[in-house]
Amino acid sequence: DVKVTQSSRYLVKRTGEKVFLECVQDMDHENMFWYRQDPGLGLRLIYFSYDVKMKEKGDIPEGYSVSREKKERFSLILESASTNQTSMYLCASRLGSMNTEAFFGQGTRLTVV
């Protein structure tokens, strides 16, 4: 079974802190994604990566950056956390160049106070 693991289920951080959300997949997938999920807004794409060291902005990249140094790991970085970044963050991975489904991690519920 494909496994996508996010490092934390719940996080509480203070405004202005630098926050790292980690995601690891074990199926050698090329593509990895970070979404945030908010009530009434659905899943919104923050950033995605189609290969190691390759990244593209999604629909809402402001206030975030990403890192993909190794194929299995995709990190989301909040440079200076703000209260409006309180959300559920979901990581996903899928095989590239094929129309295969994405597999999701369990999500990280981040609260910024």
Partner 1 sequence: GQNIDQPTEMTATEGAIVQINCTYQTSGFNGLFWYQQHAGEAPTFLSYNVLDGLEEKGRFSSFLSRSKGYSYLLLKELQMKDSASYLCAVKIKNTDKLIFGTGTRLQVFP
Q: Toward partner 1, which CB reaches closer, 15 or 111?
A: 111
**Encoded tokens for 103:** 């597999």
Query: Whole-angstrom Cα distance, residue 8 to residue 23?
Result: 9
Among 44, 73, 77, 86, binds partner 1 (CB under 8 A): 44
Give least dist CB 89 to partner 1, A.
12
Site size for partner 1 (CB under 8 A)? 28
Q: Find tokens 């009434």 and name the residue.
A: 40
Q: Toward partner 1, which CB reaches closer, 14 or 42?
A: 42
CA distances from 32 to 1, 12, 59, 78 (A): 17, 24, 15, 17
Query: Whole-angstrom Cα distance, residue 54 to residue 42?
Result: 25
The 53-82 site mask, x for binding partner 1 (CB under 8 A), equals ---x-xx-----------------------
